[in-house]
Amino acid sequence: MKMSVGRMPHGFRNLITDVPGIQVGHCTVDEGNCHTGVTVIMPPVKNPFTQKLTAASHVINGFGKTLGLVQVDELGTLETPIAITNTLNVGKVHDAMVSYMANICERDGVKLTSVNPVVCECNDSRLSDIKRRPIGEKEVLAAISAAAETFEQGAVGAGRGTTCYGMKGGIGSSSRLMEIDGKVYTMGVLVQSNYGASDDFRDACLPEGLAECDQGSIILIVATDLPLSHRQLKRVLKRTSVGMARLGSYIGHGSGEIAVGFTTAPAQPIGGSFQARMMLNEDLMNIPFRAVGECAEEAILQSMWHAPADTALDGSPIPCLKDYIKEIKP
């Protein structure tokens, strides 16, 4: 879908994987009344525990059940891949990520006594029997194994059972290019969209009968190769809410809106008394602010555009954005 979102240029794929080295993988479960999954964002290092990336998180509205954000904000580093799933599978995915990292460290001869997996979630109980919790180690490892630079969007992985503005939501992504001092850097966003009241969606005249309550959640994963400090990353993450607001969200009480981000430049090695690093001049922060706002807005739209219409467990129809656009723009 070609969208006129913002004015900055897209990356080659218009995906978070335009940030060099990033890969994304899904595992989708469609069994009986379970329509859910897991999505994993892989950092561009062989062992994220020994090559820690500068990271941050920002809680826009805290109606969520994420794991790992406390340490990310305290230490300013990421030491595992980031996993996204549904609300009641967070614990099982966290356990699977511990096993994965233990194996990676054993392979590398690294003693592992503690690790901080980052696991995020949205509640997909409208389309999936969430109490069954079908996502475990097998599914997490399958998502990791499937990770690649090109990946599906829409109703796949962690987005299989989500809804957005009363329509089918899912996984969406976008990227922007930022030229600074003659060098081009990339900003990428991946979302798991599951929020928004239909009446608030910016393109009015939605079909009647859609859900009217702003609750559910959205997870926004931000990656960039722009050199930023932990504090600067947190400032950038706050601007993901701009993309949400431009689509009409007022960020409701019952919706968990959480952003997690990292920069791939440079990784932080273990050891040494001092660490020198480069970071962006604060006077130029408007560049990544605009880039992340545009990425977030377009990623949400992409998550809806690529997701087909579906049916909730209670039999109610869930329309898709493509059908809606056909209806109002023949």
> How far, in Å, CA of 111 to CA of 301, rounded?
43
* Residue 223 pLDDT exceeds 50: yes
* Cα atoms in the Cβ-side hemisphere of radius 13 Å centred on 81: 31
How would you label 173-212 residue by residue, b for 16+ Cβ within 10 Å and e otherwise?
bbbbebeeeeeebbbbbbbbbbbbbbebbeeeebeeebbe
Q: How many residues comprise the chain?
A: 330
Query: Which pLDDT score, from 0 to 100, does residue 215 have?
Result: 67
Active-site residue, from 128, 174, 255, 303? 255
106 labelled catalytic: no
Q: At what angle do helices 321-328 and 286-305 cross, to 10 degrees?
A: 90
Active-site residue, from 79, 121, 139, 257? 257
273 labelled catalytic: no
Q: How confident is the model at residue 67 (pLDDT cuts 50, 70, 90)?
A: very high
Mean pLDDT of the chain: 93
State mean pLDDT over 17-42.
Answer: 98
* Residue 321 pLDDT exceeds 70: yes
Query: Which pLDDT score, from 0 to 100, does residue 329 have?
Result: 46
Q: How confident is the model at residue 202 (pLDDT cuts 50, 70, 90)?
A: confident
Q: Taking the CB of residue 133, how many other CB atoms lie within 10 A of it?
A: 18
Strands 256-269 and 34-42: unpaired
Distance from the Cα of residue 328 to its chain's centroid: 30
Strands 218-224 and 256-269: parallel
Query: Which pLDDT score, from 0 to 100, does residue 327 have?
Result: 53
> How far, in Å, CA of 235 to CA of 259, rounded?
11
Output the furthest CA–CA distance in the chain (Å, rounded): 64
229 labelled catalytic: no
State mean pLDDT over 190-205.
Answer: 82
Active-site residue, from 217, 241, 249, 303? 217
| Per-residue tokens: 263 | 């920069």
Residue partners of 152: CB distance under 8 A and separation at least 6:
26, 171, 306
Query: Which pLDDT score, from 0 to 100, does residue 254 have?
Result: 85
* Residue 60 pLDDT exceeds 80: yes
State mean pLDDT over 259-278.
Answer: 84
